[in-house]
Amino acid sequence: MTQEEGDTNNEGLIEKTDLSKIPRDGLTFRHISAYSVGHFNNDLCAAQWFVYLSWYINKVVELSPTLTGLCLLSG
């Protein structure tokens, strides 16, 4: 591995990698960005759903916090 591919130099610092040399299997930066944004939105939706569900089970259904956690983990 050469210094240009991201190897460490003599001081132990990591050199910058030239991203144009990394094989991407035909994926462009635009494709990778689109997948990243889509995955972020999925995680954001799931996080909101779990927060609301835990509040609902704990406050409305009045289960203990331990059982609320077990209900969320059961899924």
Q: pLDDT tens across 1-60, in order?
A: 444 455 555 566 667 777 677 776 778 888 888 888 878 888 888 899 899 999 999 999
The CA distances from residue 39 to 24, 25, 26, 61, in Å, are 19, 20, 20, 31
Cβ-proximal residues to 33 (8 Å cutoff; 6+ apart), any chain: none
Q: Is the pTM of this model over 0.75?
A: no
What distance in Å separates the CA atoms of residue 34 and residue 59, rounded to the nearest whole number?
Answer: 38
Please say whether the beta carbons of 57 and 68 come within 8 A.
yes
Domain that holds residue 35: 3-74
| Mean of the per-residue pLDDT values of the chain | 79
Number of domains in the chain: 1
